[in-house]
């Protein structure tokens, strides 16, 4: 700003004009107008630079919402993997594998003699799962995941035979078949074994072919519903306002904090183009709910930038219990009675230590970096921070939701 003030007050003529005649009123007015326009341009450029970080937080409607009813469906099926190198199920322990093989051979016109039970080691019973995407059409290929349900050591090198994949309604929507890709390897000899990655599950890219169409309500009715990814009244209101500003007042209406109803054309081609335009509309995201997520198994702690801390005092001490066992050998003496034997005994030593926990004052933290700095000042491990955050929340000094997963 000082630079702009100096620009407005400076003499446009420079040092060489100080010894010349003073400018006429018209020249002075033109010079003042030029300096004013230049200062206005600089202020506009500065405002655009300052507004750039705020625009970076803007997103599109497709980033926060999806079309309700347009969803994927889960498929699953039971099948057999053949061609394994002796690493399949042990049929004596997994009778359903041999039964599945006998049923399959019976469908192929091969019947085993009475009393004969096949016990091959090159087959494995598996469960096949896949995700049927929205608007999938017959003939489209989808990926499948194959997982062993028996005691097979490895599915590497196996081939999945034709397996029907069913939905929750019991109808067959796809057929899976193909060679497995297992991202691992293993070897064993002499009682020792080495395994890299997981060998009991594999994947078949484009391993299932869609056979049935799942109907979607996308083209039904005179409106489509946008379902927000997270429940938020502010986001629902801003989505409706953005649509109304672009498509006209009354086009969108926020039903609640999750659903926004939008009037859409009846023609399928026009409706697809209309929804495509809606998804690309810019949207200013609202500030999220303050939340701290704690993973109780790993001790991981994640918090968003809306978390704040109130002033509080924290004292935390560590209690450790150490148990050590030392083997001792007791041998019979020189005049011990006949039959005396050497005895090995264990000597246990138990120690309990507790570190001193000083009372530390935690200042109020209005921003995320202040919260991180205050928690680091405690010098606690992530596992200890879980208990400390729970205690701070109970004391009312943590202004956030504490979610434990």
Structure tokens at 208: 């299932």
Structure tokens at 182: 């297992």
Cβ pair 119, 101 in contact under 8 A: no
Cβ pair 126, 146 in contact under 8 A: yes
Structure tokens at 114: 């009475």
Residue that is written with structure tokens 């394994």 in the block: 84
Q: Mind listing the pLDDT tens digit of every residue in the chain (405 residues)?
A: 444 444 444 444 444 444 445 666 656 655 666 666 666 665 555 555 444 444 334 588 888 888 888 889 999 999 999 988 888 888 777 788 888 888 888 888 888 777 766 667 889 999 999 999 988 999 999 999 999 998 888 888 899 999 999 999 999 999 999 999 988 666 666 566 666 677 888 999 999 999 998 888 888 888 899 998 888 888 889 999 999 998 888 899 999 888 999 999 988 899 999 999 988 888 887 777 888 888 877 777 787 878 887 777 777 665 555 566 677 777 777 666 777 777 777 676 666 555 555 566 666 766 667 777 777 776 667 777 777 778 878 888 788 888 887
Cα 396 vs. chain centroid, distance in angstroms? Answer: 30
Q: What is the DSSP letter of 279?
A: H
Hey, what's the torsion of the CAs at 346, 352, 353, 358, to 10 degrees? 160
SS3 137: coil
Q: Which residues contact 91 (CB under 8 A, 6 or more apart)?
A: 97, 98, 117, 118, 119, 120, 121
What is the reported pLDDT for 108? Answer: 84
What is the reported pLDDT for 306? Answer: 80
What is the reported pLDDT for 353? Answer: 59
What is the reported pLDDT for 32? Answer: 63
Q: CA 173 to CA 130: how far, in whole Å?
A: 10
| φ/ψ (deg, to 5) at 273 | -65, -35
| φ/ψ (deg, to 5) at 251 | -70, -40
> Residue 343, class by beta-carbon neighbours within 10 Å (0-12 exposed, 13-18 middle, 19+ buried)?
exposed
Taking each continuous run of H as one helix and of E as one strand, the counts in the chain are 7, 23
Q: What is the DSSP letter of 54?
A: H
SS3 302: strand
Number of residues in the chain:
405
Q: Kindly list the domain boundaries of the chain, sorted by start residue.
A: 2-56, 73-182+197-210, 224-284, 291-330+343-404
CA atoms within 13 A on the CB side of 318: 11
What is the reported pLDDT for 315? Answer: 72
What is the reported pLDDT for 207? Answer: 93
CA angle (361, 366, 370) in 5-degree steps: 60
pTM, full prediction: 0.63
Element housing 334 (H / E): none
- Hey, which residues does 380 pair with through a beta bridge? none
146 C-beta neighbours (distance < 10 Å), count: 28
Element housing 292 (H / E): strand 291-294
Q: CA 309 to CA 307: how far, in whole Å?
A: 7
Q: CA 281 to CA 62: how far, in whole Å?
A: 8
- Hey, which residues does 130 pair with through a beta bridge? 75, 144
SS3 281: coil
For residue 403, give the nearest of 389, 367, 234, 229 by alpha carbon.
389
Element housing 238 (H / E): helix 233-247
Q: CA 143 to CA 70: how far, in whole Å?
A: 20
For residue 292, give the nearest of 382, 228, 362 by alpha carbon.
382
């Amino acid at each position: 700003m000082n630079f702009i003030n100096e620009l407005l007050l400076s003499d446009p003529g420079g040092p060489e004009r100080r010894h010349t005649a003073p400018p006429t009123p018209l020249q002075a007015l033109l010079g003042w107008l030029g300096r004013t326009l230049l200062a206005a341009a600089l202020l506009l450029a500065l405002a655009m630079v300052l507004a750039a970080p705020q625009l970076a937080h803007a997103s599109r409607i497709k980033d926060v919402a999806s079309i309700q009813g347009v969803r994927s469906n889960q498929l699953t099926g039971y099948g057999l993997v053949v061609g394994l190198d002796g690493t399949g199920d042990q049929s004596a322990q997994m009778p359903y594998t041999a039964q599945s093989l006998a049923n399959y051979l019976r469908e192929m016109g091969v019947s085993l003699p009475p009393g004969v039970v096949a016990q091959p080691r090159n087959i494995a019973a598996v469960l096949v799962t896949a995700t049927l995407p929205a608007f999938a059409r017959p003939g489209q290929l989808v990926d499948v995941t194959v997982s062993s349900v028996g005691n097979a050591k490895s599915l590497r090198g196996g081939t999945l035979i034709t397996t029907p994949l069913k939905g929750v309604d019991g109808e067959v929507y796809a057929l899976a078949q193909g060679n497995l890709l297992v991202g691992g390897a293993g070897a064993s000899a002499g009682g020792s074994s080495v395994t890299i990655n997981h060998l009991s599950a594999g994947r078949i890219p484009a391993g299932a072919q869609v056979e049935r169409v799942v109907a979607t309500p996308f083209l039904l009715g005179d409106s489509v519903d946008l379902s927000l990814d997270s429940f938020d009244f502010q986001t629902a209101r801003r989505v409706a306002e953005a649509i109304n500003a672009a498509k006209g007042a009354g086009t969108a209406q926020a039903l609640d904090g999750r659903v926004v109803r939008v009037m859409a054309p009846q023609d399928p081609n026009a409706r697809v183009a209309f929804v495509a335009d809606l998804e690309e509309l810019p949207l200013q995201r609202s500030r999220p709910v303050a939340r701290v997520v704690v993973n109780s198994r790993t001790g991981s702690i994640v918090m968003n930038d809306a978390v704040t801390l109130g002033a509080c005092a924290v004292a935390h001490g560590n209690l450790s219990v150490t148990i050590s066992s030392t083997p001792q050998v007791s041998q019979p003496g020189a005049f011990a009675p006949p039959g005396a034997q050497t005895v090995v005994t264990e000597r246990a030593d138990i120690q309990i230590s507790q570190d001193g926990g000083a009372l530390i004052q935690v200042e109020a933290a209005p921003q995320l970096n202040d919260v991180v700095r205050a928690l680091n000042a405690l010098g606690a491990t992530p596992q200890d921070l879980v208990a400390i955050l729970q205690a701070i929340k109970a004391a009312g000094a943590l202004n956030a939701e504490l979610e434990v997963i």
